[in-house]
Amino acid sequence: MTITSATPDYAAIKQRQQATWASGDYTVVGTTLQIVGETLAEAADIRADERVLDVAAGNGNATLAAARRYARVTSTDYVPQLLDKGRRRAEAEGLDVRYQAADAEALPFEAASFDVVMSTFGVMFSPDQATAAREILRVVRPGGRIAMANWTPEGAIGRLFKTIGAHVAPPAGVKSPALWGTEAHLVSLFGPRARHLHIERKMFCFRYRSAAHFLQVFRDYYGPTHRAFAALDATGQAALERDILALLNELDVGQGRGLVVPSEYAEIVITVA
């Protein structure tokens, strides 16, 4: 007997993802991560006038970091509401950024159009991971760089994904986004064109008043958590709340002076052959 597995319906999955990320207000959480975009821009050695593409830019943390270094930045996302928020941030700083709605799995740019492709906690959520990686490789020039910040499976956000997945099943056949935070998976995605792959494990500390405050913010504003609670009945919501609070209290290093939860992520810089 031959057992075959159906290919996931990526178009339908992406439709649901777009609705997920458009729900709540990601910028409330996303802007707290700005330091990650700044350190990634330094790790990628962004130079003035380099052509930089921010893929799945969200509210534009990496976009702003590159633009502050006088790069020529194109900021993309498949959720127009997020691009609008990023545009307003750039305008407030007087930064010159081009904004364009685009799917990470079908980038509307010519081959070798960019010196650097960046993504902070963005492209890792593409359901068709292999296609997203191929598109990034296609649009970056030989000798250019790919710079990403991706949550790891072992970190706090990776564990939060697992906690949510125990209550609301992820789409069948879609690999965990947190795999983008592992070296083996990156090697499999980018293959021989990754001439040099540098990965550094770093920590971002989530800082909130308490575990209950973190949960309230993520439940109200962070799309995946917002949608997970919306998919459950009252009993399921109570169970998910209990498990998330238990995870946060386990990871809290704030010693009673506010919640401090370190979350590991991988800072990745790939030099492309």
Which residue carries 């459950």 as its tokens? Answer: 232
CA distance 98 to 165: 36
pLDDT tens, position by position, 157-168:
999 999 999 999
Q: Domains (ranges, CATH) in the chain?
A: 11-204+264-272 (3.40.50.150)
Nearest 5°: phi and psi at 49?
70, 5
Is the predicted pLDDT of residue 16 greater than 80, yes or no? yes
Give per-residue pLDDT as tens, 183-208: 999 999 999 999 999 999 999 999 99
Residues 229-258 have pLDDT tens digits of: 999 999 999 999 999 999 999 999 999 999
- pLDDT given at position 153: 97
Mean pLDDT of 75-94: 96
pLDDT of 2 above 70: no
Q: How far apart are CA 201 and CA 203, in angstroms?
A: 7
The percent of residues above 90 in pLDDT, for the chain, comes to 90
Secondary structure (DSSP) of the chain: -----PPP-HHHHHHHHHHHHHSS-HHHHHGGGHHHHHHHHHHTT--TT-EEEETT-TTTHHHHHHHTTT-EEEEEES-HHHHHHHHHHHHHHT--EEEEE-BTTB--S-TT-EEEEEEESSGGG-SSHHHHHHHHHHHEEEEEEEEEEEE-TTSHHHHHHHHHHTTSPPPTTPPPGGGGGSHHHHHHHHGGGEEEEEEEEEEEEEEES-HHHHHHHHHHH-HHHHHHHHTS-HHHHHHHHHHHHHHHHHH--STTSSEEEEEEEEEEEEEE-
Compute the average pLDDT of residues 4-32. Answer: 86
Structure confidence by residue, pLDDT tens digits, 31-78 = 999 999 999 999 999 999 999 999 999 999 999 999 999 999 999 999
Selection from 168, 147, 149, 146 nearest residue 157 by Cα: 149
- Residue 173 has a pLDDT of 87
pLDDT at 24: 84
Are 179 and 169 contacting, i.e. CB atoms less than 8 angstroms apart?
Answer: no
Encoded amino acid at 94, one letter: G
Confidence of residue 6 (pLDDT cuts 50, 70, 90): low
